[in-house]
Amino acid sequence: MRVSIPTPLRSYTDQQSWVNATGATLNELFNDLDVQFPGIRFRVVDEQGSVRKHMKVFIGQEAVRDLDTRLADTDVVTLMQALSGG
């Protein structure tokens, strides 16, 4: 499936904005991404196995946070990172 990578994480994907990954669940997808692009999972998933608070994950148009969410091969997953500033 296609995964959209936000600009702050593109240093892990050799500046690619879209990558392909596989997995039956979000957890498996992030594991596959980490095999391809070491270190990216830790930027999205915390030590307790939850999506980090500053990250948003969309499957199509639906925001999800549960790593057990099932995926289809045709799904498009979008990762977004909240930006802060003043």
Q: Is the pLDDT of residue 84 over 70?
A: no
Q: Which residue has the higher pLDDT, 82 or 20?
A: 20
Strands (E), 1-86: 2-4, 18-20, 55-59, 62-64, 76-81
Residue 25 banded pLDDT, cuts 50, 70, 90: very high
- Report if residue 31 sits inside a domain: yes
Determine the pLDDT at residue 21: 98
Domain assignment present for residue 15? The answer is: yes
Residue 86 lies in a domain: no
Q: Answer whether residue 19 is part of any domain.
A: yes
Number of domains in the chain: 1
**Strand 2-4 to strand 18-20: parallel, antiparallel, or no bridges (unpaired)?**
antiparallel
Model confidence, pTM: 0.92
Residue 85 has pLDDT above 60, yes or no: no
Domain that holds residue 7: 2-81
Residue 73's CATH number: 3.10.20.30
Going by pLDDT thresholds of 50, 70 and 90, the confidence category of residue 14 is very high
